[in-house]
Amino acid sequence: MEYILQTDNLSKVYGTKTVLNHVNIHVPKKSIYGLVGKNGAGKTTLMRIICGLTQQSDGSYTLLGKSNDAAVRNHMGMLIEKPGIHEHMTALENLRYFSLLFGLQSRDHRKILEMVGLQNAGKKKARQFSLGMKQRLGIAISLLGNPNFLILDEPINGLDPEGVYEMRKMLETLNREQGTTIMIASHILSELHKLATDYAIIDGGCLIDEFSKETLERACSSGVQIMVEPEYLENAKTLIASRYPDVRCEVLSNQSLHLYEKINPADLNQYLVENKVRVCGLGANNEDIERFFVEKLSGGRAV
């Protein structure tokens, strides 16, 4: 497997406090990599080191196959903590300003605004933006260099449900259509699970575990939840009953079903798609996922 980022015993010490302790992570190219951990776990420190904003105390890392090469960061974009936007400027003016500031080659700024859903912001100043619009503008700025690797620290914090949905769809599109590798730090597991293809759990500055979405799905054993377009619900239910006659299937809403058995989500998805059902989402039950992460963070003890 090809990795866009690998760390080797990466550590950071402030005085007598160790905030990162020999962390080894592997971020696959074109993945959406979720960093999970409580506040203060070390997620932001790890990201700041990778972005060249903080110097590690020990260990090393490679980006795009090169060891801590400043030139490689020209292929990275980042949004760590609050977006550094100019509130007296419009979205377009912000992009033009930061392009000049960073000495970046001219790109189609209007196209970038369209990518992040700000194409209709017009002459509105950034100070008039909602929090979600400011977050999207921050991501637009991070996209100016046409990055291969995007690093985002808590990008959905403080957003309303509509803003969270729009942010998720935007990141999915960047990953799928642009092939952008995205690292996201978040403690909102329900949303991270809808995005991430790979995970790392960090607690107390230590890497607890690193695994793929497939591993997570297999570990969460109390069933599978599936969402389809409403007009396909009855057909999906009939197909599931035919393929899995011994599995209890319950309709949760006009587009959501829950299967109360541990079956392979990928096989189910392929079966439904082959039978012309439009699947919107599929995965393990959120409660099982949250329990999985909580048990990992508590050393495997159920809490």
Structure confidence at residue 182 (pLDDT): 97
Please give the span between the terminal C-alpha atoms of the chain, in angstroms, as a whole number: 35
Structure token digits, residue 238 = 């009939």
pLDDT of 212: 92
CB 217 within 8 A of CB 190: no
Contact 23, 1 (CB under 8 A): no
Residue 2 φ then ψ, to 5°: -95, 130
Q: Is the pLDDT of residue 303 over 60?
A: no
Cβ contacts of 214 within 8 Å, gap of 6 or more: 266
Each residue's pLDDT tens digit, 217-246: 777 756 788 889 889 999 999 999 999 998
Per DSSP, the three-state class of 105 is: coil
**What is the C-alpha separation between 92 and 107, in angstroms, rounded?**
12
Q: What is the pLDDT of residues 150-161, one digit of tens each?
A: 999 988 877 788
**Fold designation for 3-216:** Rossmann fold (3.40.50)
Q: Dig out the tokens for 90 from the structure.
A: 């419009």
**pLDDT tens string 85-130:** 999 999 999 999 999 988 877 678 998 998 888 998 989 999 999 8
Backbone angles phi, psi at 165, to 5 degrees: -60, -45
Nearest alpha carbon to residue 36 among 289, 301, 302 = 289
For residues 182-196, average pLDDT: 88
Q: Give the pLDDT of residue 93.
A: 95
The answer regarding whether domain 221-284 maps to CATH 3.40.50.300 reads no
The C-alpha atoms of residue 202 and residue 43 are separated, in whole angstroms, by 7
Q: β-strand 32-36 against 58-63: which pairing, if any?
A: unpaired
Q: Tokens 């959501």 correspond to what residue?
A: 256
* pLDDT, tens only, 32-91: 999 998 888 999 999 999 999 999 999 999 998 887 667 778 789 999 877 789 999 999
In terms of average pLDDT, the best of 12-21, 63-72, 183-192, 264-273 is 12-21
Strand intervals (E) in the chain? 3-14, 17-23, 26-28, 32-36, 58-63, 66-67, 76-79, 149-153, 181-186, 198-203, 206-212, 224-228, 249-251, 256-259, 279-284
The model carries a pTM of 0.76
CATH 3.30.70.100 boundaries in the chain: 221-284
Please give the pLDDT value at position 165: 86
* pLDDT confidence of residue 287: 62
- Residue 32 DSSP SS3: strand
CATH 3.40.50.300 domain locations along the chain: 3-216
**DSSP conformation letters of 202-248:** EETTEEEEEEEHHHHHHH--S-EEEEE-GGGHHHHHHHHHHH-TTS-
In sequence order, the 6+-apart residues with CB closer than 8 A to the CB of 86 are 93, 94, 97, 126
CB 69 within 8 A of CB 219: no
